Structure 1
Amino acid sequence: MNNKKTIALVTMLLLSGCASTNDANDSGLLGVKSPGSGVIKPTNATEASMLIAQSQASGNADSMIYAYRQALEFHQFNKADVYFNIARLEQQRDNNSQAEAAYRQAMASDLKRPELKEALALLLVDMKRHQEAETLLQEVVAADQSRLKASTGEAGACVTDNESPWRSYNGLGLLADIMEQGEQARQYYQCALNIQPGLAMLHTNLGFSYYLEGEYPQAERALTRAVNQDPQYRRAWSNLGLLYYRWGRKSEALAALRKNGSQAEALNDLAISP
């Protein structure tokens, strides 16, 4: 893959952490620091529920993970849900190994919930474990096609309804673009758009896929739909500006990039001295 595609694909990543915490700082499968000596270990499900509510009100990730771990001691809680919540918190903190472990525990607790497999797969995309991610995403999509009693013959072909896994289709599109399989990627994005036609992120990914293949008119149409769907979506404006610049439409490129900042910032994005 050439440098332009490698750099550009970074902007298409599906997942991003909300904080940076080194995995090495935590010990054990789901290790977290104690939330403090003032916290009483719950002795029943009611107290565990209160502890979860208090931790959520505090917004402290360590406290929330501690509370969820205590809830695992009581059969009244759905273990798959608890592990899922732990996994999402760990993922937000960029503790990917702990998040993966928790997602796998959630899946082991309930094998019939595709959203658990999908969440793990998207984490693996973020961890650049592409082959594992693709296998899981294909399984999610295949299960949905089976639910809808649809054929799964052609790659990228899909029958969908409003319950279909658009995130899985979008993830498969991203992976196909990484593998420079642009036509297949766009089929997957179209499947996702069948489910979520108003989502600017999906139009942006579709437009960027066209851009990578040098199909600028199609890219412009998709990216324009994205900014029309969500005028505040910065990545769509950035990609539209990049497209116009590569297309030789410099004034339109600057106009698009100015949606994200000043004239000087726009010029800097294009590596042009003001």
Structure 2
Amino acid sequence: MKRPSVCIAVTLIIGLLAGCTAQQKRHSMMAQLYDGRPVSRLAVDSAPQTAQEAIVRGDAAMHAQQDDLALFEYIRALSLLPAGQHRDKTLYKIGRIHQLHQRDRLSEKAYQMALQDNPHNIDVLQQLGVNYSKKGAFDVGKRCFIRAINADQLRLHHHVMLSPSINQIDTVDALEMDDHSPANAYMGLGIIYDVASQHGMAQALYKKVLNVHPQSSKVLLNIGYSYYMSGDDLEAKRATLAALALDPDNSRAQNNLGLIYLGQGKIQRALNVFMQQMASYQALNRVGYLLMIQGHPDKAIPYLQQAIDEKSSFYQAAHENLERAFAEVNALAHQ
């Protein structure tokens, strides 16, 4: 008769200890990762019975744009999730919330914790690549992008892998890619190669994305600018016009088209493009400034003077650019 009562007592003790452990884990996670409004001000439901229930609540809160509540529910889910069971996906969601609210330290912490659980999380690696690249840490960003692409090759059961020193276009061409592949990792890596003046590699990466997303004005815009930087104005114009056909109001595409026309010596066409997106005096100043930085200060002067004539007292930038253009012309004359 005594033995069952002992078993019951032990079971109760174990249950209490497990409850205490889960609660301690939740408090620890909250201390590490929560930085929203006080929990007392959130419309928090009773404790979820499972991690999946907490995740569903978090997703619903995100959909309703209740980010603090979503963050709270996702952290509660972490305390119920064993290692290796979707913890990395939940930590990625936590990192994204923090990033949306510019809490960079906490977003970085969440992403790194996600990689501890799953070093091959493609979304996390891609996002870290974007973040580091925006900060100018291109070497770190490049490694993250390559890891994301390689993790995607594993997902696709493909044997080709990129190395940090990759500079062979054939290797890029051999990569597999589908609708679920990390397009931003390919794009980000392409931008890094463009910055390093390895335009052939950049264009190969952009084309991989374009094969899967042929209607992406963003990809076409990047390809066009890469061709422009490599001196291929014909292909640059072709890709940029294709981007504008998909997104006619894209100011970056309009600006790039103006640059291409200037590179071809078609100044009036460039001016017409700029005048579609800004006031005429601004367009005149833009043309003058770009001609100046392209090494043609003598050609810049008339356009800057016209800009000043149109908006003399309210357009200081044109005055400054005109002074610089005259100075550069004088410097060239005395060489």
> 2: distance between equivalents of 1:32 and 1:118?
24
Q: Deviations over 1:47-66 (max 9, x none)?
A: 74575366435525444333
- Structure 1 alignment gaps of length 5 or more: 1-26
- Structure 2 alignment gaps of length 5 or more: 1-29, 290-303, 311-335
Q: Deviations over 1:134-155 (max 9, x none)?
A: 1222233334445234476834
User: Which amino acid letter does the alignment assign opposite residue 81 of structure 2?
Assistant: H
Higher Cα Rg: structure 1 or 2?
2
* 1:69 corresponding residue in structure 2: 75
> 2: distance between equivalents of 1:181 and 1:127?
21
Contact 2:130 2:141 in 1 (8 A): yes
Q: Deviations over 1:57-101 (max 9, x none)?
A: 552544433332233223398322221112122222333332222
Contact 2:54 2:76 in 1 (8 A): yes
1:30 pairs with 2:38? no
* 2:117 corresponding residue in structure 1: 109
- Between Structure 1 and Structure 2, the one with more helix by share is 2
1:237 pairs with 2:280? no
Kindly state the Cα deviation for residue 240 of structure 1 after the two structures are TM-superposed: 1.3
- Give SS of 1:226's match: helix
Change over 3 Å in CA distance of 1:80–1:144 after alignment to 2: closer
Larger RCO (CA under 8 A, 6+ residues apart): 1
Change over 3 Å in CA distance of 1:113–1:41 after alignment to 2: same
> 1: distance between equivalents of 2:221 and 2:39?
44
1:205 to 215, 222, 227: 222
1:79 to 70, 87, 106: 87
Bigger drift between 243-252 and 207-216 goes to 243-252
* 1:7 corresponding residue in structure 2: none
1:133 to 141, 150, 163: 141
- Give SS of 2:40's match: coil
> 2: distance between equivalents of 1:211 and 1:112?
35
Contact 1:201 1:236 in 2 (8 A): no
1:158 to 174, 187, 196: 174
> 1: distance between equivalents of 2:135 and 2:49?
35
* 1:88 corresponding residue in structure 2: 96
1:252 pairs with 2:269? yes
- Percent identity over the alignment is 24
Change over 3 Å in CA distance of 1:33–1:94 after alignment to 2: closer
User: Which amino acid letter does the alignment assign opposite residue 103 of structure 2?
Assistant: N
* 2:158 corresponding residue in structure 1: 148
TM-score by length of 1: 0.76
- Give SS of 1:164's match: coil
Contact 1:83 1:102 in 2 (8 A): yes
1:119 pairs with 2:122? no
Change over 3 Å in CA distance of 1:253–1:123 after alignment to 2: same
1:192 to 209, 227, 237: 209
State the Cα RMSD in Å: 3.0
User: Which amino acid letter does the alignment assign opposite residue 230 of structure 2?
Assistant: E
> 2: distance between equivalents of 1:183 and 1:142?
20
Change over 3 Å in CA distance of 1:52–1:118 after alignment to 2: same
> 1: distance between equivalents of 2:256 and 2:101?
27
User: Which amino acid letter does the alignment assign opposite residue 70 of structure 1?
Assistant: R
Q: Deviations over 1:106-163 (max 9, x none)?
A: 2222334323222222222122221122122223333444523447683433333424
Kindly state the Cα deviation for residue 253 of structure 1 after the two structures are TM-superposed: 1.6
> 1: distance between equivalents of 2:107 and 2:233?
39
